[in-house]
Structure 1
Amino acid sequence: MILYIAEKPSLARALAEVLPKPQQKGEGFIRLANGDVVSWCIGHLLEQAEPDVYDPAFKQWRREHLPIIPDDWKLVAKPNTKKQLAVLKKLLKEADTIVHAGDPDREGQLLVDEVISHCKVPAAKRERVQRCLISDLNPAAVKKSLAELRPNREFVPLSVSALARSRADWLYGINMSRLCTIAGRSQGYQGVLSVGRVQTPVLGLVVRRDRDIADFQPKPFYEVQALLQTDNDEQFRAKWQPSEACQPWQDEEGRVLSRALAENVVRRITGQPGRVLAAESQRQRVPPPLPYNLSALQIDAARRFGLSAKQVLDVCQGLYERHKLITYPRSDNRYLPTGHFAQVPSVLAAITVVCPALATAAAQADTGIRGRAWNDARVEAHHAIIPTARKMEGERLSGTERQIYELIARQYAAQFYPHQELDEKVIEVDIAGGRFVARARQQQVAGWKALFARTDKAGEDEDDEWQTRLPVLRAGDGLQCLEGELLDKLTQPPRPFTDATLLAAMTHIARYVTDKALKKILRDTDGLGTEATRAGIIELLFNRGFLVREGRQIRASEAGRRLVASLPELATTPDMTARWEAALDAISRRQASYGQFMEALQAQLPGLLGQVKPESFRGLKAATPSSRTRRRGGVRARNKGVA
């Protein structure tokens, strides 16, 4: 008997749909006509054991118990899924062959592997386990995945990295949360103060942004523009570029802080002749934006529709599991396998049915264009989120489902349009010894950009230095400065985080890392958390009362601010988490070991605990939603590893 184990019931149903019929539904499984069986997990069926499983004394939260470090790690059945675990245990004993069909990511690999291990499947049988990677629930795609099974042992490093993440999150979260909660109680606070290696740095980002806004003092600065006229009476404006001699009167960003200096420049150039130093024109070819991964989709949906990360993920899960209109949504990849190219016409045809607003765009797509999105070398466990070839009337979707599907479909259709082409001109001018620059950008070929003309207001260039056109000039041409204009400006405070900008910060966390050496190591795409967990992390911080919403703005609560103040800086900045993610990625690629990673964390933990400052909670008495969390730290890694 072959036993197929899916990550969740929806995937199991998709598998059964393409396997031998007639079929018999049982309690927690589907038996096929040939005697094989399809069963499923319900996310993680097992979870890390609570501290009191290791020692009953740990039921009491006491400082002297910390740090709690298990010698022999234990998994226990989750109370609400014990029945399904028992079903799988029985089926695993009966099976001759096992096919692992967890989701194609780190957690999907672990959650089936841990069931196989927990149920004590013999080593010989484990060695024969096959891996089925499914990212599209439509029958043709599922059949293709079943025809391309791979040995599950190839994915052991991925599973080990997920296991390391799970245990490390437990160690760090349980110990730090218990200590902070004990410290809070000592100052009169009765809520649970949870700490996690991802959630707390995210909270730290918001706390520091709020602090920067509150402490911000606007500073005046000055710019000078020259109104220039050519011999043909054409006029344009050029902006003064301060020389090195002006540095004593500039800030770190090069802004001129001396009004007297700017006024002097205005006086010197008004009515004076000028000379063109250089005039350059360049045609820029801008390729279509890559298809979405989850974070890019969540950011766009937040900007356009004001949707939270969790709302977008929930909608995507429905489009994937219930409607089968998109591929696997928890993807961190923005590329497509070349093998998909044969499906392009059928996917475009489906878009015209599901989303009539894009019917013309799909019909006019040039399927002969194969751009940068098709790159086998950049595709790993899963590929970009794209529409499937399933046709369904769009009226059956909710309004939000239609919005998200249209975003995904438009991004996909754009791959079959030519590059946008822009003419960019730059003219450098000398006036009375000062250097001035004029820039212009003009679209010559809309290409893919035509698909976004009505929707892409958020992406318009807001730089007022760019003009729409400039006169045709050559180096050496003479000009006349009709007047100089002094522009009074004020520095602006940072903007509060929104769902879109907080997700963007989590996705491109290298920008916020303080350790310069680590910043160099990290790729710009190395993120805080994973595609699958970011929405849950943000939601978690709201549920625990550490973040609050003010319209679209996200702010830290008093409890959130006090928690960050109590912790060592390392716990509230992305640096440590970035190191973790880099190490976990290295484990998944066989470039680092589980043992080294865990030993380093265990050695670091006592020092972190010793730096917590209980006095930061003094006077914090109002209970927050976190006080309703059961007192076990609230940090266990649940489905997809929220930490």
Structure 2
Amino acid sequence: MRLFIAEKPSLGRAIAAVLAKPHRKQDGCIYSADGDCVTWCVGHLLEQAEPQHYDPAFKKWSLEHLPIVPENWQLMPKAKTKKQLAVIKSLLREADSVVHAGDPDREGQLLVDQVLAYLGVKGERAASVQRLLISDLNPPAVRQALTQLRSNREFIPLSTSALARSRADWLYGINMTRAYTLQGRKVGYDGVLSVGRVQTPVLGLVVKRDAEIEHFVSHPFYQVEALLEPIGVADEDAGKRFSASWQPSEACRPYQDEQGRVISKPLAENVCSRIEGQQGVVKAVDKRLKKYNAPLPFNLSALQIEASKRFAMTAQQVLEHCQQLYERYQLITYPRSDSRHLPVAQHAMAPRVCASLAENISELAQELTAVDYSRRSRAWNDSKVDAHHAIIPTEKRMAVASLSEPLQQLYLLISRFYLAQFYPPYQYNETAVRVEIAGGMFVAKAKQLVDVGFKRVLPDRRQQQDSFLPPLVVGQSCLCRTAKLLEKQTEPPKPYDDATLLAAMTGIARHVSSAEVRKILKDTDGLGTEATRAGIIELLFRRKFLRRAAKTITATAAGRGLVASLPESATTADMTAQWEASLNAISERQIRYGCFMQPLQQSLYPLIAEAQAVLPEALKGLPVEKGGGGKKRRRSTGGGRGSTAAKARAGRR
């Protein structure tokens, strides 16, 4: 018997659907007519053992016990899913061969690998396990995937990397959370001070932004606009005036702020008085055709950011809705993807996918008539696709109008970004003219649309409005009719919302000062993973460290107090950057597991000593908000997969 072990029941049913019929359903599995069997996990069947399982004394939180570092790591069956674990154990006894069908990501790889190891699959039997990677639950895609089984041994580094991440998050989260919670009690704060490798730097981002807004002092800055009229133009062009903006020279640098804005009103007034009524000379005329290719299809973070901007959806709502579109309706491919590219082989599927879109979404019918299937955008790139690819619509046909509005919105958005790959670039002509007046340089620009291109299917993406300049040539004279002084005020940064906080997490390199750390972060996925970012944000809300007002996200007093009490290394992305670099190196066979874990374990001792040396005075006198994690609440850890499981996994991060 060949035994398939899927990550979830929905995936198990999709695999069984393409196996020989008739089927025989039993508790926790499905047998096919030819004797193959499909079973499944229900998210994580196993979880990291709690500290008290290593030593009963650890049940009581005490600084004397810290740091807690297990010598032999233990996994425990989850109480709610013990029955399904027993089903898999029984089926493994019958199986001649095993196919690992976890979700196509790091966590999915580890999830099933841990079950196999826990149930005693070792040696030659473990070496013979095959890996099935499925990103589309529709039968044609599942059948295709079954023809492309790979050895599960290929994915050992990926699984080892996920294991190291899981254990490291446990070590850091358990020890730092206990240390600071106990210190908090000494100053009267009775809540759980959850500290994690990812969640705390995310909180640090929000606290820092709030502080910047609170302490922001607005100041005026000045711009100069010149209204110019060409001299000696043809009669039909006579009187055609245009505006040009002053470009401060290097000599003006002492009168500018860090963003290059002129903050000296007398300087700007002097420029106005010097140029008004004066003749200038055109120094340069630069005409260029600008082309912009279609944006790539979505990964999860990009989709969450776009949906937040367009539909005011939270990151968690997008993830949950996408899980429905994938698992229940099979309308999109695997949603927890971190890739925005597609395998080249999938290009041939485009006519079938688009035919389904034409039937599913009536409003796309007109756009589909202009699709060019011979066009292959930069999205199709095998070198940037491994276990999973970008989120795209599938060939499934159904009455999409029957879905809830959020599901329709996301499906249409994903579909439009897919269709955009078969449209030409958005193109416009841009003319830039540089005019020198009384020793100062002024620039005017004009743009004219050439081809709307992919924006035909993304009509709400901002398009350039046509603007014009009179025909000008180098050396031509222009008269400055008037000079206008524009006084403006600097504005504080905007508070975070779901879209901008997610963008900050994925582009965290922009928020660190070290060039070395920035490089590491640019080469990694940022803070968190596609599957965990929404859960991490939600965790901070549940812990009452963040609050939401309409779309705005700000830190609570407890959140600010926690960040103020922690060492800077815990509230910035630098440590996460180093971790991610090492974890990626493990997945790429560049370093071993121990090279990452041993230094981490040693680093816990000075971290705990630092926590014990300082009382978190910033939390003194703060009440614990209702639901914010008092003493009776479990500290934030967890395991599991799925819409609620990602939140649980985020607890240690």
Determine if the TM-score, normalized by the shorter chain, exceeds 0.5. yes
1:289 aligns to what?
A: 295
In structure 2, relative to structure 1, the CA distance for the partners of 1:158 and 1:509 (3 Å cut) is: same
1:611: Cα distance to partner?
Answer: 3.0
1:452: Cα distance to partner?
Answer: 2.0
Q: Which amino acid aligns with 2:628?
A: S
2:114 aligns to what?
A: 114
CA deviation digits over 1:533-586, x for unaligned, max 9?
111111111111111111110011111111111111111111111221222111
TM-score (norm 1): 0.97
After TM superposition, the structure 1 = structure 2 runs for residues 439-518 of structure 1, keeping only pairs within 5 Å, are 439-453=445-459, 455-456=460-461, 459=462, 468-518=467-517
CA deviation digits over 1:71-128, x for unaligned, max 9?
1111101111111111111111221100000000000000000000001113111010
Q: Matches of 1:327 and 1:76 in 2, distance apart? A: 32
SS across alignment from 1:481: strand
In structure 2, relative to structure 1, the CA distance for the partners of 1:114 and 1:630 (3 Å cut) is: farther
The reply to whether residue 436 of structure 1 matches residue 447 of structure 2 is: no
CA deviation digits over 1:184-218, x for unaligned, max 9?
21122222111111111111111110010000000
SS across alignment from 1:452: coil
2:138 aligns to what?
A: 138
Identity percentage of aligned residues? 56
Could you tell me whether the CA contact under 8 Å between 2:190 and 2:630 is conserved in 1? no
2:38 aligns to what?
A: 38
Could you tell me whether the CA contact under 8 Å between 2:424 and 2:454 is conserved in 1? yes
Q: Which amino acid aligns with 2:93?
A: K
SS across alignment from 1:436: strand
2:318 aligns to what?
A: 312
Q: Matches of 1:312 and 1:460 in 2, distance apart? A: 26
Q: Matches of 1:270 and 1:629 in 2, distance apart? A: 72
SS across alignment from 1:239: strand
CA deviation digits over 1:600-633, x for unaligned, max 9?
2112222222333422221112344232686542
Could you tell me whether the CA contact under 8 Å between 1:100 and 1:132 is conserved in 2? yes
> Which residue of 226, 237, 247 maps to 2:243?
237
SS across alignment from 1:121: coil
SS across alignment from 2:226: strand
Q: Matches of 1:524 and 1:247 in 2, distance apart? A: 35
In structure 2, relative to structure 1, the CA distance for the partners of 1:5 and 1:577 (3 Å cut) is: same
2:234 aligns to what?
A: none
1:285: Cα distance to partner?
Answer: 1.2
Q: Which amino acid aligns with 2:637?
A: V
TM-score (norm 2): 0.95
Q: Matches of 2:114 and 2:632 in 1, distance apart? A: 26
Q: Which amino acid aligns with 2:354?
A: L
1:619 aligns to what?
A: 621
Please say which of residues 468-477 and 424-433 is displaced more in the overlay.
Answer: 468-477
SS across alignment from 1:369: coil
CA deviation digits over 1:351-372, x for unaligned, max 9?
1122111122123211111111
2:258 aligns to what?
A: 252
Q: Matches of 2:480 and 2:466 in 1, distance apart? A: 18
1:252: Cα distance to partner?
Answer: 1.5
Q: Matches of 2:439 and 2:327 in 1, distance apart? A: 67
2:559 aligns to what?
A: 560
2:104 aligns to what?
A: 104
1:19 aligns to what?
A: 19
After TM superposition, the structure 1 = structure 2 runs for residues 219-618 of structure 1, keeping only pairs within 5 Å, are 219-231=219-231, 232-453=238-459, 455-456=460-461, 459=462, 468-523=467-522, 526-612=525-611, 613=614, 614-618=616-620
SS across alignment from 1:625: coil
Q: Which amino acid aligns with 1:541?
A: L
Q: Which amino acid aligns with 1:228?
A: L
1:521: Cα distance to partner?
Answer: 3.2
Q: Matches of 1:315 and 1:361 in 2, distance apart? A: 25
Could you tell me whether the CA contact under 8 Å between 1:439 and 1:467 is conserved in 2? no
Please say which of residues 555-564 and 183-192 is displaced more in the overlay.
Answer: 183-192
Q: Matches of 2:453 and 2:517 in 1, distance apart? A: 39
1:636: Cα distance to partner?
Answer: 3.4
Q: Matches of 1:133 and 1:184 in 2, distance apart? A: 46
SS across alignment from 2:340: coil
1:291: Cα distance to partner?
Answer: 0.7
Q: Matches of 1:626 and 1:591 in 2, distance apart? A: 42
Q: Matches of 1:191 and 1:624 in 2, distance apart? A: 10
In structure 2, relative to structure 1, the CA distance for the partners of 1:238 and 1:611 (3 Å cut) is: farther
In structure 2, relative to structure 1, the CA distance for the partners of 1:629 and 1:111 (3 Å cut) is: farther
1:633 aligns to what?
A: 635
Q: Which amino acid aligns with 2:574?
A: D
- Structure 1 residue runs without a partner (length 5+): none
CA deviation digits over 1:409-440, x for unaligned, max 9?
00011111111111111111100000111122
Could you tell me whether the CA contact under 8 Å between 2:105 and 2:388 is conserved in 1? yes
1:240: Cα distance to partner?
Answer: 0.8
Q: Matches of 1:356 and 1:630 in 2, distance apart? A: 54
Q: Which amino acid aligns with 2:72?
A: D
Q: Matches of 1:70 and 1:609 in 2, distance apart? A: 16
Could you tell me whether the CA contact under 8 Å between 1:169 and 1:637 is conserved in 2? no
Could you tell me whether the CA contact under 8 Å between 1:195 and 1:635 is conserved in 2? no
In structure 2, relative to structure 1, the CA distance for the partners of 1:122 and 1:105 (3 Å cut) is: same
The reply to whether residue 127 of structure 1 matches residue 127 of structure 2 is: yes
Number of positions where the alignment pairs a residue of Structure 1 with one of Structure 2: 636
SS across alignment from 1:238: strand
Could you tell me whether the CA contact under 8 Å between 1:191 and 1:624 is conserved in 2? no
SS across alignment from 2:629: helix
Q: Matches of 1:316 and 1:635 in 2, distance apart? A: 25
SS across alignment from 1:110: helix
Q: Matches of 2:42 and 2:168 in 1, distance apart? A: 23
The reply to whether residue 29 of structure 1 matches residue 29 of structure 2 is: yes
- Structure 2 residue runs without a partner (length 5+): 232-237
CA deviation digits over 1:310-366, x for unaligned, max 9?
101111000000000000000011111111111111100111122111122123211
SS across alignment from 1:522: helix
SS across alignment from 1:591: coil
Q: Matches of 2:173 and 2:633 in 1, distance apart? A: 13
1:525: Cα distance to partner?
Answer: 6.4
Q: Which amino acid aligns with 2:158?
A: L
Q: Which amino acid aligns with 2:141?
A: A
Q: Matches of 1:484 and 1:330 in 2, distance apart? A: 55
In structure 2, relative to structure 1, the CA distance for the partners of 1:442 and 1:605 (3 Å cut) is: farther
